[in-house]
Chains A and B, each alone.
Chain A
Amino acid sequence: MTDSPVPETPIELDTPSVRKTPPILRFDRVSVRLADERFSDVEQVCFEIKSGDVATIRLTDRRDSPIPALAIGDRPLEVSETIGVSGTVEFDGRPWGSEGHGDELARRGQIGLVLGQPGWVNNLNVLENVLLRQLHHTQRPRRELLMEVQEMAYAIGLSEVAPRRISAMGRSELRRCEWVRAFLGNPRLIVLERPCALVEREYWDALSSWVKRAVGQGTAVLWLSREPDELNLVSDLAKVRYAMTDAIPSRLEVQR
């Protein structure tokens, strides 16, 4: 595998099958410079992920990446927080920001997330947090969701996803519960940002098997991590692999 420089024109993905459906996620010449120094800048980011594809991005900057938030059409694109923004991010063929607020939120409900910083709603218990997205956006019976949650919990070494306070759970347990939350309900897109952080090595294979199952059901997966070991879990699945360089502005390099 050798690194190659980023071409000036958008990359044409080298996927085995040519599909007519629009990609599930598409970054088109996205450049963002943020006022918040906790986030790295990005410049001329171009990639797309279609149904059943996995894309990995190796982060080399120690700062957080804005790509997960950009992928879900979230805050870094708000003008008040950015110094400069250009380009388009499309989900399911439609750019973020092109529809009404309610429609965009409904679309965001089809995305499973494991973010770099653990994110829990503190006035709900762990089980309510895990079920919240599915209960809010679907009509699936609660019992059915609970059964699925239980099955997933067993697979990653949890006896159950307990209705306990967030503060009563260990960091590894909470992180694995985030996996359950992200994969629950077969979402269209799953964004994983350093999902194996704080989790014991013995559970990593379970996560990779979940990714394999999800892509088999047509889900697109975007996996970002600083750890090569983590990304190697899905190396046989990833259609396209990228690395973020250290230089500012950061650019994606295609690794083939």
Chain B
Amino acid sequence: MSIVAIVGLEPKFLAIAAVGGRCLPTIVRHMLAHRATHGVVGGALRCGRNDVVEGRWAENSMSWLRRFGQVATIVGGQAAYVVAVAVAVLWLAIWPSSWPRTVRQVFARQMLFTGYDAIGFTLRVAFAVGLLVIVQVELWLRAIADLDFSGQLFLRIFLRELGPFLANLIVIIRSGTAIATELARMKVDGDVEILEAQGIDPMNYLVMPRVLGVGFSVFGLAVILVSFAFVSGYVVGTMIGVFNASPYDFLLGIMRQLEVEDVIFFIPKTLVTGMLIGAICCVTGLEIQDRDVEMPQVAGRSAVLGLSAVFFVAMLLSLSVYGRVLIFQVF
């Protein structure tokens, strides 16, 4: 209201005043001292110059930098904590004493729920993806008459990217959110304290089997997904006349394109990301303090963080194994 009155309803000056809302006192002083238009612009400029002269510009820039640094520190700290949990799980897992029958039972249940129970859904996704991608790729490659490229393309799409990504996504949606919610409820209900009172380490009993279960499940599901995608794509493609090669030739074409880096790439992209997803979900669940406020957010937060980890690890692996980020050759 006060701005409208000062600048006489001229939009461009409204915009300047709105952006420089902080500069309003300076603008008003100039309005009173000079003509209206000049006053607004001059006031804004003077405000900006004052900032520079009085060091406020540097201070404001520093405050943004400071905020950026704070956010980077927090995010980096959280990421380091999750990685530390995953490493601690691996360290615990190598000792036989970490595997009493109660922990083995939790691990088996986790593999059943996260891996085995997800096979049906994974097969359906693999069928659909195989059909869509393989057939489309083959059709387009026919159009540019470069059929020899198809095996390479299928491999790169499925083995390196789509297969691991979809397996991670399936696990995040089906199991990751459930793990986070379950552990959050255990935390607020005091179940974790009950376990400790009986001499049962929550890290050993709750976290370790879940992290490992999720990691191995992602790996297994990714293998199933990639394999079935190829099979379904070939079968449907042959039925609609896109493929003419025999199954043996099709498979041979794929295998000829397989490189050592593809295997190196596949294992960490499934096992490592799976373990990070498990660690993120466990940490997110066990960090909860307030049932009423945080419980509804736990599932969503774990899913978002899990996905972020998947993309980040994929990027890191692409850089380190292939020297690329997306289509850009880095080294």
Binding site for B on A (CB under 8 A): 69, 72, 74-75, 101-102, 104-111, 113, 115, 119-123, 132-133, 135-137
Q: How many residues of B contact A (CB 8 A)?
A: 21
Output the least CB separation between B82 and chain A (Å). Answer: 21
Could you say which of A107, A113, A122 contacts B197, with CB atoms under 8 Å apart?
A113
Output the least CB separation between B91 and chain A (Å). Answer: 12
**B199 A122 Cβ-Cβ under 8 A:** no
**A108 B193 Cβ-Cβ under 8 A:** no
Closest B residue to A181 by beta carbon equals B198
In the complex, what distance in Å separates the CA atom of A109 from the CA atom of B100?
A: 13
Q: Contacts A135-B100, A135-B102, A136-B100: A122 and B189 contacting too (C-beta < 8 A)?
A: yes
Q: Name which of B186, B198, B201 has the most chain A CB atoms within 10 A of its CB.
A: B198
Closest A residue to B203 by beta carbon equals A101
**B199 A105 Cβ-Cβ under 8 A:** yes
**A135 B101 Cβ-Cβ under 8 A:** yes
Output the least CB separation between B228 and chain A (Å). Answer: 33
Chain B, residues 178-205, CB within 8 Å of chain A (1/0): the string is 0000100110011101111111110001
In the complex, what distance in Å separates the CA atom of A211 from the CA atom of B201?
A: 28
Q: Contacts A135-B100, A135-B101: A119 and B200 contacting too (C-beta < 8 A)?
A: no
**B199 A107 Cβ-Cβ under 8 A:** yes
**B197 A132 Cβ-Cβ under 8 A:** no
Chain B, residues 84-127, CB within 8 Å of chain A (1/0): the string is 00000000000001001111000000000000000000000000
Closest A residue to B185 by beta carbon equals A122
Closest A residue to B189 by beta carbon equals A122
**B190 A119 Cβ-Cβ under 8 A:** yes
Output the least CB separation between B178 and chain A (Å). Answer: 11
Contacts of A137 in B (CB 8 A): 100, 199
**A108 B186 Cβ-Cβ under 8 A:** no
**B186 A121 Cβ-Cβ under 8 A:** yes
7 A-B pairs with CB atoms under 8 Å apart are A74-B196, A104-B199, A107-B199, A108-B198, A119-B194, A133-B199, A136-B200
In the complex, what distance in Å separates the CA atom of A75 from the CA atom of B190?
A: 12
Interface pairs A-B: 8 shortest CB-CB? A109-B199, A108-B199, A119-B194, A105-B199, A136-B102, A133-B198, A121-B191, A135-B102
Could you say which of A72, A75, A115, A121 contacts B195, with CB atoms under 8 Å apart?
A121
**A106 B191 Cβ-Cβ under 8 A:** no
In the complex, what distance in Å separates the CA atom of A29 from the CA atom of B205?
A: 35
Could you say which of A72, A111, A132 contacts B200, with CB atoms under 8 Å apart?
A132
**B198 A109 Cβ-Cβ under 8 A:** yes
**A111 B201 Cβ-Cβ under 8 A:** no
Contacts of A133 in B (CB 8 A): 198-200
Output the least CB separation between A193 and chain B (Å). Answer: 12
Contacts of B103 in A (CB 8 A): 136
Q: Contacts A132-B102, A136-B102: A108 and B197 contacting too (C-beta < 8 A)?
A: yes
**B191 A122 Cβ-Cβ under 8 A:** yes
In the complex, what distance in Å separates the CA atom of A74 from the CA atom of B196?
A: 8
In the complex, what distance in Å separates the CA atom of A108 from the CA atom of B196?
A: 8
Contacts of A113 in B (CB 8 A): 197-198
B48-101 residues at the A interface, CB under 8 angstroms: 97, 100-101
In the complex, what distance in Å separates the CA atom of A72 from the CA atom of B190?
A: 17
Output the least CB separation between B291 and chain A (Å). Answer: 13
Closest B residue to A129 by beta carbon equals B194
Contacts of B100 in A (CB 8 A): 135-137
Contacts of B205 in A (CB 8 A): 136
**A101 B197 Cβ-Cβ under 8 A:** no
Contacts of A135 in B (CB 8 A): 100-102
**B191 A123 Cβ-Cβ under 8 A:** yes
Contacts of A107 in B (CB 8 A): 199
Contacts of B200 in A (CB 8 A): 105, 109, 132-133, 136
Contacts of A136 in B (CB 8 A): 100-103, 198-200, 205
In the complex, what distance in Å separates the CA atom of A107 from the CA atom of B100?
A: 16
Q: Name which of A74, A111, A136 has the most chain B CB atoms within 10 A of its CB.
A: A136
Contacts of B101 in A (CB 8 A): 135-136
**B201 A101 Cβ-Cβ under 8 A:** yes
**B199 A119 Cβ-Cβ under 8 A:** no
Q: Contacts A102-B201, A105-B199, A135-B101: A123 and B194 contacting too (C-beta < 8 A)?
A: no
Output the least CB separation between B200 and chain A (Å). Answer: 5
In the complex, what distance in Å separates the CA atom of A226 from the CA atom of B199?
A: 27
20 more CB-based (< 8 A) A-B contacts, given A101-B201, A108-B198, A136-B100: A74-B193, A74-B196, A75-B193, A75-B196, A105-B201, A108-B196, A108-B199, A109-B199, A110-B199, A113-B197, A115-B197, A119-B190, A119-B193, A119-B197, A121-B191, A121-B194, A122-B191, A136-B102, A136-B103, A136-B199
